[in-house]
Amino acid sequence: MSFKIYKPQILRDLFTFMKLYMDSDVKLLAGGTDFMLMLENNKIQPDLVIDLTAVQEMKGITVIGDELCIGALTTMTELAESALVRTYAPLLAEAAVSMGNLQVRNLATVGGNLANASRSADVVPALIALDAVAIINKDDGSRQELVEEVLRGSRKTSLAKDEVITFFKLKLAKVGTGMAYEKLGRRKSGAISLMTSNIVIEQTEGKITKARLVFGVMTPSARRARPAEDFLLGKTLTEKIATKAAEIARSYIVEYIQMVRPADLDRKELGYAYKLPVLEGVAKRCIISAYEKGGV
Amino acid sequence: MSEIILDMNINGENISIQVPSNMRLIDILRVKLRLTGVKEGCGEGECGACTIIMNGKAVNSCLVLGIQADNATIITVEGLAKNGEMDILQQKFIEYGAIQCGFCTPGMLMSAKALLMHNPKPSKEEIREAIAGNLCRCTGYTPITKAIEAAVKV
Amino acid sequence: MIEKTIIRADVFAKATGAAMYADDLLFDAMLYVKTVMSSKSHAEIESIDCSEALAVPGVVAVLTAKDVQGKLCNPTERPILALDTVRYIGDGVALVIAESLAAAKRGMKKVKVNYLELPAVYDTEEALTDGAPIIHGTSNEACHWKVRKGNLAEGFAAADIVLEQDFTTQRVYHGHMETEICIAEPTPQGVNIYCPGKAPFYARQPVADALNIGLNQVRAIQPVVGGSFGAKGTDAGIIAARAAIAAKHTGRICKIIYSREESMVECTKRHPFKLRYKIGAKKDGTITAMEIYGLVDAGAYTSETKRTTARSCVEATGPYVIPNVMTDIIGVYTNTVSNDAMRGYGSPQVDACSEQIMDELAIKLGMDPVLLRRLNGLKEGSLSATSQVMTGVSLDECIDKLVEKFDWYERKERIAKSKKHGDKVRGLGMACMYRGEAMGAGAIDTAGVNIHVEKDASVKIYAGLNEVGQGGHTMLASVACLVLGISDKRISVARVDSAYVPDSGPTVASRGTVLAGNACQRAAEQIKEKLAILVAGNFKVKPEDLSFANEKIFITDNPEVSMSFEKAVQACYNAGKNVYGFGWWCAPDSWMDPDGGSCEPYFSYVYGACATEVEVDLVTGKTEVLAFAAAHDVGHALNVMEVENQICGGVSMGIGYALTEEILMINGRVDNPNFRWYVTPTAVDYGEIIPIIVEKPSKFGPLGAKGLGEPATSIVAPAILNAIRDAIGTRIYQMPASLEKVATAISANKGGKA
């Protein structure tokens, strides 16, 4: 079924339009890689589609002060190739390049990745590990929210109907910060993520001053494994400590699922029996790798 | 039926075309413009047979809604040959036996072309990565990689 | 013996996007047809209500089995449309014909089928138990093939070591890039079908049956074909019949095109096997006995199950001399998607298991796996499992070349020194094969080829052998070039059109080169003879004194005396003679004994040997193929580059079979009907492939050539599985070696070899 299309050039027009059509079934189109699948499978039947691709204000990667600002329409390829991202948030560049295949990365956007809130979203866990903040705008205001808090479960976000994610902010990595990423998939390209490991570790004189451990796909929305992060604080990393932190991370994931969706642990298609021990092994090597990278 | 008018530059030619609002770019190219070199293998962005170059980037035309291609510059396999002479990639694909059933070939060529447009001297790994979104069941990718390497050397 | 490589004629259009595949053909006022598929595994159709579908704007007609005038299918075969019973989720139930694809899709969803559900069975063992739901006739046994040789009890008694192991192989999908499609055009006499496939002449039969017309009224015209690998055979026939029914009913051109999902749900797959192997050997490695029992999942219909099962029964021991053999392989119906030919049909499944049990035997005996295979391998004059005297055996040549080109022993030493790399371990594996050429026992395997040399000395080859991507047409051109001593520039090969070309049989069983190649050679030789007689008369010599090469016909002992090919052709025409040839080749007899006694199931066999180095991540279970070498005896490489590329493609498909590819079925429903969850290898997923050509000329093939398409993929999986065993110390018995299975095997072996 066909629909009306609106293609705004500036944010102001976008918001005006969204307000005007508050009562219609409006769908925003960014990269379109998920949108098109839903459209073809009749999972969405919008009255109006707003194509965001011409909105320049939602594009670009810049450094402002001690923050990296990333437009919501930035594609995965742009993230992966950006010298700024590679320097100040290499984790995000690695996560971006691991997504889908090149043709998909050339279309898919970072904002779309969050707004879709898919369990297997590729860059969202990296954004969480980087303490990224989403800037969310609407006609008469804007708000900021940690990416972790925007997510409210699989395919659920805090976004209201008239709100749009316009860009992301994250602090530039300090000296002594190391990051490590690993994706578990059935092949090297174009694979659906079975799990992703997103690790950020800051250290001063060998002692861990900040740790972020986020494991994608393992929970309906990605969450920081805080107990494992807390465990690492103040410690000088050894293999034993990395092993222990990985164990804690695994226990945390299990406890979290038991809390939110206990039946999931036994659902064969979610593969926890296989993934949990793997998470432990992958977490361990990523923690070591991040620590080593930050130590130089 | 809601229709939209799109302006595009396709294979060097400026066109303006009216299409239904929900039409995918692949259908605009194949059905409306009869550029049937663009192949549909899965319709889900997984196989790469429909790869075209849009604004300098390789994309799956099955995942692009018509409106997204408004004002875009598009190259399809039909636009590779210049003045009747095949692009070096096409020549090398032929020379190295990189074409068997040929269904993946147009998409492969476009992925390779997009690579060379912004990286004229790619490494073997970069070549493989550039075509990793294009599935081929005939060749095992070996002759395709070799053909692209040979085109780079010219 | 290696000839220069000629460039395929079909690639120019394919490289520019000009090649016309079926979906690229444009017809006026075409209708679109969608198939309503069964949503039940096993059910009686109580009623079908088409009224809502007919009310959808754009829908022209809805047809069911009752609207089919002629025959729906042979007993136990898949019907064009199910009449009263559906036997798997995917069985065609109705056709919705509409002015647009979108309208056909909408109509498809509105067809209401009332089913009376019947108990279903999804597992071959369960299907053979008493009280299991019966799918056809009185038993779920589709066929049972046997091989008997020597005395099994004595063989095992003489053994110092006996190993027994169960294996399973999974259901996989061809993954041809172009999905199934057919356009049917009604004609006053019958129907024209544009239906890409491996067997255009065969596809006419269900069309003729369904419409109650003669084969001569069904014209099969082949567009360019986007891959087959065994697909687009049975399925193409059914889809062609559906399109033809729709075309005849509406009097308009009708097109059916399958989405990827429809292709994966309805169309045939590779048979999954359950196999039990028992092998006995002496301490020195000499095998004394082998007992093999296997169940083959036919799916809901017979399709290619009989031939697949027969082949697997013949080849189940692997290429070894085994004095005492008992093999039983049974085809079994289940309520799952029907299985048919896929690149090797029967070979890859048994090869995966026989080569693993050989590997395990080598480990248990502490023997080099290469040595064990050499020791027991078939030699010239050996008796096969079916007691056939083997001739033209080239197993040793394949092993020799493989060991040399892959640096087997150097690699082994290197890995022994540094096995572990961080969390990753490396391992080496190998596998050997023999495989019966062409269709084998029970088939009348023939091919015809016409060659017309035109008055300007250009040459046109007319053959029913289809170009599905494998290079079959170039092979024909190569044979004609070599026989007539002319440049390939003179030659063009007509596209397959049943109105003009002779039937060369299907493009299956790696038979194209041998069958159609031989027919082509014969046709070319007739032309050669006609030209030789004429030229010999001119030169006052005997025809046998002449040679054909470099576009010339010359006296062999006095090459200065020559006439150009072109002149000779013109002279022939001027003398009122034709320069045509018609070649027909019938494969030598082959047969199988239903009781398992000695027989010659194939007239010829090919041999091969593969080796690989893999790296396994001990944390994730991820296996990466670092390098893969494949040596195949092709008899005579008619086109070196194409042979090498064919090997590379076969290896790639085999890597997918070994590691990631699997059609997952949940209660008879395909759970992963897309390329997102059905995981084939991409360009970054494996390292170097090393193709190795072995040439031991065949006494049967054209100019000594042998078939290659299927051998190229047959033993890839066992080589990889053996390498994984070498790396982690545990074996994966159930294919594929997925992340989960390898990780489980690693954890079962914690503290072990790895």
A191 touching C, CB under 8 A? yes
A29 touching B, CB under 8 A? yes
Contact C659, C720 (CB under 8 A): yes
Query: With an 8 Å Cβ cutoff, are A186 and C683 in contact?
Result: no
Contact C544, C599 (CB under 8 A): no
**Close Cβ partners of B97 (under 8 Å, ≥ 6 residues apart):** B139, B143, C5, C8, C641, C642, C644, C645
Q: Establish whether the linkage from the previous residue to C736 is cis, with ω within 30° of 0.
A: yes
Beta bridge partners of A182: A197
What are the tokens at A203?
């250290």
Q: A285 to chain C: nearest residue by CA?
A: C423
pLDDT band at A187 (very low <50, low <70, confident <90, very high): very high
Is the confidence at residue C53, as pLDDT, over 70?
yes
State residue A49's pLDDT score.
96
Q: Count Cβ atoms within 10 A of the Cβ of residue C749 and give its class: 0-12 exposed, 13-18 middle, 19 or more buried.
A: middle
CA pair distance C94, C86, nearest whole angstrom:
12
What number is the average pLDDT over the span C458-477? Answer: 96
CA pair distance A157, A163, nearest whole angstrom:
11
Beta bridge partners of C389: C383
Is the confidence at residue C728, as pLDDT, over 60?
yes
- pLDDT tens digits, residue range A10-40? 999 999 989 999 899 999 999 999 999 999 9
- pLDDT tens digits, residue range C597-632? 999 999 999 999 999 999 999 999 999 999 999 999
pLDDT band at C4 (very low <50, low <70, confident <90, very high): low
Judged by DSSP in three states, C83 sits in: coil
| HEC secondary structure over chain A | CCCEEECCCCHHHHHHHHHHCCCCCEEEECCCCCHHHHHHCCCCCCCEEEECCCCHHHCCEEEECCEEEEECCCEHHHHHHCHHHHHHCHHHHHHHHHCCCHHHHCCCEHHHHHHHCCCCCCCHHHHHHCCCEEEEEECCEEEEEEHHHHECCCCCECCCCCCEEEEEEEECCCCCEEEEEEEECCCCCCCCCCEEEEEEEEEECCEEEEEEEEEECCCCCCCECHHHHHHHCCCECCHHHHHHHHHHHHHHHHHHHHHHCHHHHHCHHHCHHHHHHHHHHHHHHHHHHHHHHHCC
State residue C450's pLDDT score.
98
Query: With an 8 Å Cβ cutoff, are B111 and A104 in contact?
Result: no
State residue A2's pLDDT score.
85
Residue from C318, C301, C501, C453 nearest C395 by CA: C318
Beta bridge partners of C291: C278, C326
What number is the average pLDDT over the span A217-226? Answer: 96
Query: With an 8 Å Cβ cutoff, are B132 and A53 in contact?
Result: no
State residue C283's pLDDT score.
98
Rg, chain A, Cα only: 19
**Close Cβ partners of B116 (under 8 Å, ≥ 6 residues apart):** B89, B122, B148, B151, B152
What are the tokens at A284?
């361990």
**Close Cβ partners of C259 (under 8 Å, ≥ 6 residues apart):** B43, C179
What number is the average pLDDT over the span C101-129? Answer: 98
Is the confidence at residue C3, as pLDDT, over 90?
no
Measure the CA angle with vertex A68, ends A66 and A74; round to 5°: 170
Q: Which residue has the tokens 């729709």?
A: C246
What are the tokens at C714?
């047959």
Strand segments (E) across C334-473? 339-340, 420-421, 424-436, 446-453, 459-463
What number is the average pLDDT over the span C284-311? Answer: 97
What are the tokens at C385?
């499992």
Strand segments (E) across C38-155? 43-49, 59-64, 85-86, 92-98, 112-117, 141-149
- pLDDT tens digits, residue range C565-578? 999 999 999 999 99
CB burial string C89-128: b at 16+ within 10 A, e below: bbbbbbbbbbbebebbbbbbebbebebeebebbbbbeebb
**Close Cβ partners of A38 (under 8 Å, ≥ 6 residues apart):** A44
Q: Which residue has the tokens 């290499």?
A: A90
What number is the average pLDDT over the span C647-665? Answer: 98
Give the whole-number percent of chain C exceeding pLDDT 70. Answer: 99
State residue C554's pLDDT score.
98
Query: With an 8 Å Cβ cutoff, are A285 and C747 in contact?
Result: no
A112 touching B, CB under 8 A? no
What number is the average pLDDT over the span A127-152? Answer: 97
Q: Which is it for strands C31-37 and C254-257: parallel, antiparallel or unpaired?
A: parallel
Beta bridge partners of C36: C94
- pLDDT tens digits, residue range C144-182? 999 999 999 999 999 999 999 999 999 999 999 999 999
State residue C6's pLDDT score.
85
Sign of the C-alpha dihedral computed for residues C594, C596, C597 and C601 taken in this order: positive
Question: Residue A101 — left, alpha, or beta (φ > 0 → left; ψ -120 to 50 → alpha)?
Answer: beta
Contacts B–C by Cβ distance under 8 A: 164
At residue A167, φ and ψ (nearest 5 deg) are: -160, 175
Strand segments (E) across C132-235? 141-149, 161-169, 181-186, 191-194, 218-221
Nearest-Cα distance to chain B for A153, in Å, is 25
CA pair distance C526, C153, nearest whole angstrom:
55
Beta bridge partners of B13: B10
Helical packing angle, C347-365 and C305-315, nearest 10°:
20
State residue A66's pLDDT score.
96
Of B4, B24, B45, the CB nearest to A33: B45
C36's enclosing H/E stretch is strand C31-37
What are the tokens at C658?
């070994």
Contact A282, A247 (CB under 8 A): no
Chains touching chain C through at least 3 C-beta pairs below 8 angstroms are A, B
Of A4, A39, A104, the CB nearest to B133: A104
What number is the average pLDDT over the span C697-725? Answer: 97
Q: What does the CA dihedral B127, B132, B134, B140 come to, rounded to 10 degrees? A: 80
Please list every residue in chain B whose beta carbon sits closer than 8 Å to the beta carbon of residue A51.
65, 67-68
C-alpha distances in Å from residue A113, one per residue of A118, C295, C298:
7, 46, 43
What are the tokens at B54?
């849009």
- pLDDT tens digits, residue range C220-270? 999 999 999 999 999 999 999 999 999 999 999 999 999 999 999 999 999
Query: With an 8 Å Cβ cutoff, are A285 and C677 in contact?
Result: no
- pLDDT tens digits, residue range C365-374? 999 999 999 9
pLDDT band at B51 (very low <50, low <70, confident <90, very high): very high
A188 touching B, CB under 8 A? yes
Report how many helices (DSSP H) and strands (DSSP E) chain C contains, helices first: 20, 31
Order of all β-strands in the sheet with C43-49: C85-86, C43-49, C112-117
CA pair distance C754, C749, nearest whole angstrom:
8
State residue C753's pLDDT score.
42
Choose, out of B77, B109, B142, B144, the residue to mutate when testing the contact with C (most C CBs < 10 Å). Answer: B142
Is the confidence at residue A176, as pLDDT, over 70?
yes
Query: With an 8 Å Cβ cutoff, are B97 and C17 in contact?
Result: no
Q: Which is it for strands C59-64 and C92-98: parallel, antiparallel or unpaired?
A: antiparallel
State residue A296's pLDDT score.
64
Q: C747 to chain A: nearest residue by CA?
A: A277
Mean residue pLDDT of chain A comes to 96
Sign of the C-alpha dihedral computed for residues C224, C227, C230 and C234 taken in this order: negative
Q: Which residue has the tokens 């697909």?
A: C231
State residue C743's pLDDT score.
97
C399's enclosing H/E stretch is helix C395-405
State residue C5's pLDDT score.
73
Q: Check if the interface score ipTM surpasses 0.85.
A: yes
Give the whole-number percent of chain C exceeding pLDDT 90. Answer: 97
The answer to whether the predicted template modeling score (pTM) of the entire model surpasses 0.90 is yes
CA pair distance C102, C59, nearest whole angstrom:
10
State residue C2's pLDDT score.
39
Query: With an 8 Å Cβ cutoff, are C682 and A189 in contact?
Result: yes
Is the confidence at residue C314, as pLDDT, over 60?
yes
Contact C565, C552 (CB under 8 A): yes
Nearest-Cα distance to chain A for C14, in Å, is 22
Query: With an 8 Å Cβ cutoff, are B47 and C177 in contact?
Result: yes
For C316, which DSSP code? T
Of B78, B128, B138, the CB nearest to C17: B78
Rg, chain B, Cα only: 15
Determine what percent of chain B falls in helix, strand and coil, rounding each to the nearest 5. 40, 20, 40
What are the tokens at B26?
């692949």
